[in-house]
Amino acid sequence: MSHRFKTRLEQAHTRGDYTALLDGIPYAQLIGIECTRLGDELLFRLPANKDNIGNPILPALHGGVIAGFMELAAALHLLVFTGAPGLPKIIDFSLDYLRAGQFRDTYATCQVWRQGRRVANVAITAWQSTAAEPIATARAHFKIEEASRP
């Protein structure tokens, strides 16, 4: 992890504002991801944006945008909460689309199911109107860097 990125991460922790951290990730900027800390959780938001539409007839969000949003949310969640010394690298990502992602704001939360020394497993849930009605759920496995030993 670069010194500049590490500094952004530390500032985000201190301020509770993750905008500077997201600004350093081009894909997060492209699709418009936002992040807010709510106590011990992060809430990720994907604002409605015409550029993210995959089916203009419905209109519905592109499935790849939903997947990218959820994968990036999981990686950022790991980075913020696990204290990993570097950026987590995706090993596997499995996604279940449950409902059409309509043209409105989309939200996601993550939960770390297991974190070992080298691998972390994360569950991600995305919804639009209410968390009780998810539009997609996913499981992600990340390779995380081990902390350097003295």
Q: Which residues pair with 34 in a beta bridge?
A: 45
Q: Give the pLDDT confidence of 84-143 residue by residue, as tens digits.
A: 667 899 999 999 999 999 999 999 999 999 988 899 999 999 999 999 999 999 999 999
Beta-sheet strands, E only, within 51-118 = 53-55, 60-61, 89-97, 106-115
pLDDT number for residue 10 = 80
Q: Give the pLDDT confidence of 5-63 residue by residue, as tens digits.
A: 777 778 887 888 888 888 888 999 999 999 999 888 999 999 999 999 999 999 999 99
**Amino acid, res. 77:** H
Predicted TM-score (pTM) above 0.95: no
**Domain 3-143 belongs to what architecture?**
Roll (3.10)
